[in-house]
């Protein structure tokens, strides 16, 4: 079967769509505000450059070189080396299981975005388990519709329109939030910026490091099989290093603009900073505090609707990528059609999603397991494969776009060194400090 090939713009939009998601708008602002402000952002950028970018490149290289799904890609590249082939098979299972687990709870939060969007349009509904379940199903249904359209006609077309739109919407909301007049809370929007970005290096502990790394992996969709899968759809002529760098840049930019949209509004209109700090789970900031803020904001009805609509887009382009990983795998490795595999995944993740709606503790447990442990392990597996196991010539050939777009040698050698040494050692060090911290 002919594989789809994404256009250069399309591959950027599709991968940025996967990266920019609830992690940017829902988790990042809260994490920055409570973990040391600009100090956290600096730590985050450091992790992105020395650990995440090399791992992203490794995953894209594995995907594009093999032209196969995430379950089989490393196995294809390790043919004729039985031990490596077997280990690759185990990682392949991980690359398929992780996005399924992620989607199982991500669809619940996606459902919340649908719920609050409907509320912001004036639909009378109470936040209970029934409406939660219904909204989760609606959100998964939308995801399934996009994925059944296929990689080019479904996902690429959707992302090409939605990502630029999302960017414009988030900027409009940030401008509104930053220009809010003081409303007698004793704080202004500028205090919000100060609260969020003020560097506090004393907050940087082993725990913060793990949190920053987990957030960076989650936000860049590393270790989830998504980059391997999308890598297999990238045009051989495109420059993978530039693709990975542009995506990491867009992802951070979105997260910072989202922070400027969320925190200053809370400061100008609520009793902040207590309102921010009282949100001991990050989702409360967006789903409890912000609706109150929009209710008293000038033009809050419109801005609230735009905000929750942006959240739906951000969440959908991410959930679509999570579903695409097992769908590509199933359609390539079985005789099932794309439509059938999408239906199967809809049923499987829908059932798991309902469980997460009914038992929120399950949601938190899967989130922690995936973001803090499984995704870093899966990502490092890919880096180890690309750096140590894959033929060096293949690796450089991919970075040079198969000779069509040569990179300066200094760059490619640096990237390979980071992949071989810094990335695995960095992750191990963070794990170790975390484990020691627990003892
Ligand atoms: N990066 C997405 C976000 O920030 C989440 C995601 C993780 C998407 C893994 C795909 C795979 O919300």
The share of the chain scoring above pLDDT 90, in percent, equals 66
Cβ of 53 less than 6 Å from ligand 1: no
Give residue 171's pLDDT band: very low, low, confident or very high (50, 70, 90): very high
Tell me the CA–centroid distance for residue 338 and ligand 1, in Å.
22
CB neighbourhood size of 264 (10 A) = 27
Tell me the CA–centroid distance for residue 94 and ligand 1, in Å.
16
Give residue 274's pLDDT band: very low, low, confident or very high (50, 70, 90): low
Task: Supply the pLDDT for residue 329.
Answer: 98
Rounded (5°) CA angle 366-368-374: 80
Angle between helices 206-219 and 423-438 (to 10 degrees): 130
Give residue 5's pLDDT band: very low, low, confident or very high (50, 70, 90): very high
Place of tokens 């905000």: 307
User: pLDDT tens digit string along 218-242?
Assistant: 999 999 999 999 999 999 999 999 9
The answer on pLDDT for 246 being more than 90 is yes
Strand partners, 6: 234
| Lowest-confidence region among 36-45, 122-131, 279-288, 349-358 | 279-288
User: pLDDT tens digit string along 366-410?
Assistant: 988 888 789 989 999 999 999 999 999 999 999 999 888 888 889
Nearest-CA residue for atom 7 of ligand 1: 221
Task: Supply the pLDDT for residue 160.
Answer: 98
Give residue 132's pLDDT band: very low, low, confident or very high (50, 70, 90): very high
Whole-structure pTM value: 0.94
Task: Supply the pLDDT for residue 283.
Answer: 65
Cβ of 289 less than 6 Å from ligand 1: no
Cβ of 321 less than 6 Å from ligand 1: yes
21 Cα nearest atom in ligand 1: 12
| Lowest-confidence region among 44-53, 175-184, 373-382 | 175-184
Closest CA relative to residue 328, chosen from 316, 351, 345: 345
Task: Supply the pLDDT for residue 405.
Answer: 83
Contact 72, 331 (CB under 8 A): no
The share of the chain scoring above pLDDT 70, in percent, equals 95
The answer on pLDDT for 300 being more than 90 is no
Does 355 or 187 have the greater pLDDT score? 355
Cβ of 345 less than 6 Å from ligand 1: no
Most confident region among 234-243, 258-267, 277-286 by mean pLDDT: 234-243
Burial zone of 294 (CB within 10 Å; 0-12 exposed, 13-18 middle, 19+ buried): buried
Cβ of 322 less than 6 Å from ligand 1: yes
Alpha carbons 325 and 331: distance in angstroms, whole number:
10
Alpha carbons 131 and 3: distance in angstroms, whole number:
39
Mean of all residue pLDDT scores within the chain: 91
User: pLDDT tens digit string along 55-74?
Assistant: 999 999 999 999 999 999 99
| Lowest-confidence region among 265-274, 289-298, 371-380 | 265-274
């Amino acid at each position: 079967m002919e594989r789809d090939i994404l256009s250069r713009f399309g591959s950027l939009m599709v991968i940025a769509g996967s990266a920019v998601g609830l992690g940017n708008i829902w988790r990042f602002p809260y994490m920055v505000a409570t973990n040391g402000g600009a100090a956290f952002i600096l730590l985050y950028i450091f992790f992105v450059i020395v650990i995440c970018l090399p791992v992203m490149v490794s995953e894209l290289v594995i995907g594009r070189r093999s032209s196969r799904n995430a379950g089989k890609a490393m196995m294809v590249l390790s043919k004729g080396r039985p031990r490596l082939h077997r280990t690759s098979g185990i990682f392949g299972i991980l690359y398929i299981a992780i996005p399924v687990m992620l989607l199982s709870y991500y669809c619940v939060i996606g459902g919340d975005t649908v719920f609050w969007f409907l509320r912001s349009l004036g639909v009378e509904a109470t936040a209970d388990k029934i409406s939660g379940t219904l909204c989760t199903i609606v959100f998964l249904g939308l995801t399934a519709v996009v994925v059944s359209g296929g990689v080019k006609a479904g996902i690429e077309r959707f992302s090409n329109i939605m990502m630029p739109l999302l960017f414009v919407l988030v900027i409009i909301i940030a401008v509104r939030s930053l220009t809010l007049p003081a409303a007698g809370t004793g704080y202004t929007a500028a205090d919000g910026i100060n609260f969020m970005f003020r560097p506090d290096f004393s907050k940087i502990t082993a725990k913060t490091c793990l949190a920053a790394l987990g957030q960076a992996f989650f936000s860049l969709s590393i270790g989830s099989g998504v980059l391997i899968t999308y890598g297999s759809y990238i045009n051989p002529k495109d420059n993978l290093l530039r693709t990975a760098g542009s995506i990491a840049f867009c992802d951070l930019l979105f997260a910072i603009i989202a922070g400027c949209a969320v925190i200053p509004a809370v400061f100008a209109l609520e009793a902040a900073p207590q309102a921010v700090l009282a949100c001991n789970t990050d989702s409360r900031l967006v789903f409890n505090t912000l609706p109150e803020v929009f209710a008293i904001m000038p033009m809050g009805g419109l801005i609230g609707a735009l905000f929750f609509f942006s959240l739906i887009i951000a969440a959908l382009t991410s959930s679509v990528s999570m579903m695409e990983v097992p769908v590509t795998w199933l359609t390539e490795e079985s005789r099932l059609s794309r439509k059938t595999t999408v239906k199967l995944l809809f049923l499987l993740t829908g059932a798991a999603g309902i469980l997460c709606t009914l038992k929120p503790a399950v949601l938190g447990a899967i989130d922690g397991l995936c973001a803090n442990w499984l995704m870093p392990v899966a990502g490092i597996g890919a880096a180890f494969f690309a750096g140590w196991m894959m033929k060096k010539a293949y690796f450089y050939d991919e970075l040079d776009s198969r000779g069509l777009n040569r990179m300066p040698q200094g760059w490619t050698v640096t990237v390979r060194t980071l992949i071989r040494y810094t990335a695995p050692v960095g992750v191990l060090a963070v794990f170790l400090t975390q484990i020691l911290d627990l003892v």
